[in-house]
Each structure stands twice: as structure tokens, then as C-alpha cells.
């Protein structure tokens, strides 16, 4: 990719939404460019078994993402590994500046940057992050073979992480601040039946404890939400599984957001508050957050972008960048 490139359709982010948008965009002859970031495939690359993807009774998350990327390339999409550091949506063509120094202008943009793990914000959590504190059991679970670990959370993410960790750990303690879980019932049933799992209800993680030299986790302090009492438990690892935050930093001051940073789209579409900019996947979906719904939104975004570009072409719309130039005063 040259330092300065113009494309009709720019897709930022990969995962099911981005790759599906690339497939549909390429089929519509929009010659899309997809910038996939440093974690091609997004959250599914740190997921093990995927059992709810239609047509696959079981497939590994990374394998599914490799297939999607290959599909997008086969359809003719240009897939680039880079990071968009700045995105200007204030005028068209829209402009993206990348970490590599590349500058891309685009007639339409699809945002599919997904979401990232949330953290509790504890000083001790930050101190031991990467040294016993993790937000990815798939990434780090292997290191806790035969050891005891703690998982914080009560939704699907927490239960899935806890179940995965039972493959390695001798014991998994799940801490939840309520007296019931929010996870899907089928996941809860699996969790309750697993003999390696202990659940501590109505408690929060107050502190991660450990050694400084070498840096490592040795325990955790839990606080009761009912009476404020504390209890200490010995664990070798702490996994934070309290959900995800939308990766909307690029557009937080440019697009309308809702529900803690998710990009707001028009009902029944992927259109954002700026014409020509579309959003799909976990970046905009705070309810379903499934691979299959993200893929569906990626399809919608590409079709919305195709329709919007066609309307502009039919209307013979002038270049907005040129239209915004101030009028020159007559000479003399």
C-alpha cells in the first residue's frame, strides 16, 4: 500500500463484522480495503470452541477467522495489517491516518472495531497485569496447570472463562457480586456440575495480593457486598471477566454514542450520525454480541454503504471537500 491511497469503501476492523462487510463490499464491486489491526479476527481469535456458528457444530475461533479472512481476500477485498491512529469524519472524502504512515481517503467508511475486555480499575490489578492477572483464559490458562485460579464476573464471559480454566487448573473460584448469574442457562448448568468450580456469591474483588520479586500473584482479598466483611483466598492467577468496552476511541468525539461508548446507528440499519459512515458488530451492539449477529451487521453495513454510494453517484453529488471551500471575493 502506498503512503497515499484513495478507496471507494474503507473498512476499519476485522472479526465477523469486518470480514463479512469486505465480502459483500467486494461482491458489490466497491473494491473495499479492510484494515484489520494487530489482532486480525478480533475477539474470536482468543476464543476456543465455537458451537453456535451455523454450519459448524464445532470450530475453533481462530480457525473461523482464518476462513473469513481468506473468503474476503478471495472475493477481491484488499486486507491490510495496520493500525488506524486518526480518523477524520468531518469532511469527505473521509481520511484515515495509519501507524505505518499510510494515509487513506475513502468515499464511505464501515467501522467494525469491536470491543475490548473491561478491567476493574484496581491499582493491584494493574500492578500484576501480565504477571498473574489476565483477561484472557484462552491466552493464559495453560500456565496454570495444576494450580488454583480466581475468575471475576457473572455473565457469559465469566462462565466461559471459568469452564475453560477447569481444563488446566486444579480449582477455579468464581466470584460474583450478586446471588445469581446472568450467563445463559446451558452455561450455568455446565458450571454448576463441574467439580473443580466453587462459586463465591455476593462478593467483589477488593485487592490482588502477591510478591514483588519476582512479581507474581499469590492471593486475593474479597469483600462482601452485604456486610463489608473480607476474606482472603490463596490463588496463583486472577482472571477478570466482566465484559467488554466498545473500541470507539477513534470516533468518540465525532459520532453519536450510547450505552457507555457504543456507536449509535439508526434503527434497522447501520447508518451512523454522519452520512457515509456505517458501524457494525460489537462496536454498536451492546445486547446480542454474537459472532453471527456481527456477521449479519457486517452484511447490512456493506449493503447500506453500496446503496448510499449509488445514490450519490445517481445524484451527481459534487465533491463535498470542494464544496466546503470558501467563496473567493471577486477581483478588483
Task: Please measure the distance between the N-terminal and C-terminal CA atoms of the chain and give it in whole angstroms.
Answer: 46
91 has pLDDT over 70? yes
Please give the C-alpha separations between residue 98 and each of 7, 25, 42, 74, 139, in angstroms, as whole numbers. 15, 22, 18, 25, 27
Distance (Å, whole) CA 107 – CA 276:
7
SS3 content of the chain, % helix, strand, coil (to 5): 30, 30, 40
Tell me which fold the domain 4-116+244-323 belongs to.
Answer: FAD/NAD(P)-binding domain (3.50.50)
Which is higher by pLDDT, 98 or 316? 98
98 is a catalytic site residue: no
Residues 41-52 have pLDDT tens digits of: 887 876 667 888
The domains spanning 4-116+244-323 and 123-240 adopt the same CATH topology: yes
pLDDT tens digits, 152-199? 999 998 999 999 999 999 999 999 999 999 999 999 999 999 999 999
Q: Where are the domains of the chain?
A: 4-116+244-323, 123-240
Rounded CA separation 292/332 (Å): 64
Tell me how far apart the alpha carbons of residues 185 and 187 are, in angstroms, rounded to a whole number.
5
Burial class from Cβ neighbours inside 10 Å (0-12, 13-18, 19+) for residue 219 reads: middle
Choice among 139, 179, 313, 319 that is catalytic = 139
Query: What is the percentage of the chain residues whose pLDDT exceeds 70?
Result: 94
Tracing cell 475453560 back to the chain, one arrives at: 164
CATH superfamily of 123-240: FAD/NAD(P)-binding domain (3.50.50.60)
Strand, helix or coil for residue 280: coil
Among candidate residues 63, 88, 136, 202, the one labeled active-site is 136
**What's the pLDDT tens digit per position in 105-152?**
999 999 999 988 889 999 999 999 989 999 888 778 889 999 999 999
**8 Å CB contact between 157 and 245:** no
107, 140, 282, 285: which is the annotated catalytic residue?
140
Q: What is the pLDDT of residue 330?
A: 45
Judge whether 110 and 57 are in contact, CB under 8 Å. no
- The CA–CA distances, whole Å, from 220 to 140, 217, 239 equal 18, 8, 11
Coil, strand or helix: which one is 2?
A: coil
DSSP H or E segment with residue 271: none
pLDDT at 288 over 90: no
Amino acid at each position: 500500500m502506498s503512503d497515499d491511497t484513495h478507496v471507494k469503501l474503507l473498512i476499519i476492523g476485522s472479526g465477523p463484522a469486518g470480514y463479512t462487510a469486505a465480502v459483500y463490499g467486494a461482491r458489490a464491486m466497491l473494491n473495499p480495503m479492510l484494515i484489520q489491526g494487530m489482532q486480525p479476527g478480533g475477539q474470536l481469535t482468543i476464543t476456543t470452541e465455537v458451537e453456535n456458528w451455523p454450519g459448524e457444530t464445532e470450530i475453533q475461533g481462530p480457525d473461523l477467522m482464518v476462513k473469513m479472512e481468506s473468503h474476503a481476500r478471495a472475493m477481491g477485498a484488499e486486507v491490510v495489517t495496520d493500525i488506524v491512529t486518526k480518523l477524520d469524519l468531518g469532511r469527505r472524502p473521509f481520511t484515515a491516518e495509519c501507524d505505518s504512515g499510510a494515509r487513506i481517503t475513502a468515499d464511505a467508511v464501515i467501522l467494525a472495531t469491536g470491543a475490548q475486555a473491561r478491567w476493574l480499575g484496581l491499582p493491584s490489578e494493574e500492578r500484576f497485569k501480565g504477571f498473574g492477572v489476565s483477561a484472557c483464559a484462552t491466552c493464559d490458562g495453560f500456565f496454570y496447570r495444576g494450580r488454583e485460579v480466581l475468575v471475576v464476573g457473572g455473565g457469559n464471559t465469566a462462565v466461559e472463562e471459568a469452564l475453560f480454566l477447569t481444563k488446566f487448573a486444579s480449582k477455579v473460584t468464581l466470584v460474583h457480586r450478586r446471588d445469581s448469574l446472568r450467563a445463559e442457562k446451558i452455561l450455568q448448568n455446565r458450571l454448576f456440575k463441574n467439580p473443580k468450580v466453587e462459586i463465591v456469591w455476593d462478593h467483589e474483588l477488593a485487592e490482588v495480593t502477591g510478591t514483588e520479586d519476582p512479581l507474581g500473584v499469590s492471593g486475593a482479598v474479597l469483600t462482601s457486598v452485604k456486610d463489608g466483611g473480607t476474606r482472603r483466598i490463596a490463588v496463583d492467577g486472577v482472571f477478570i471477566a466482566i465484559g467488554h468496552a466498545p473500541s470507539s476511541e477513534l470516533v468518540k468525539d465525532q459520532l453519536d454514542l450510547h450505552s457507555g461508548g457504543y456507536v449509535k446507528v439508526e434503527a434497522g440499519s447501520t447508518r451512523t450520525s454522519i452520512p457515509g459512515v456505517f458501524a457494525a458488530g460489537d462496536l454498536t451492539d451492546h445486547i446480542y454480541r454474537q459472532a453471527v449477529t456481527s456477521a449479519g451487521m457486517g452484511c447490512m453495513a456493506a449493503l447500506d454503504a453500496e446503496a448510499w454510494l449509488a445514490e450519490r453517484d445517481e445524484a451527481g453529488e459534487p465533491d463535498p471537500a470542494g464544496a466546503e471551500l470558501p467563496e473567493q471575493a471577486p477581483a478588483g
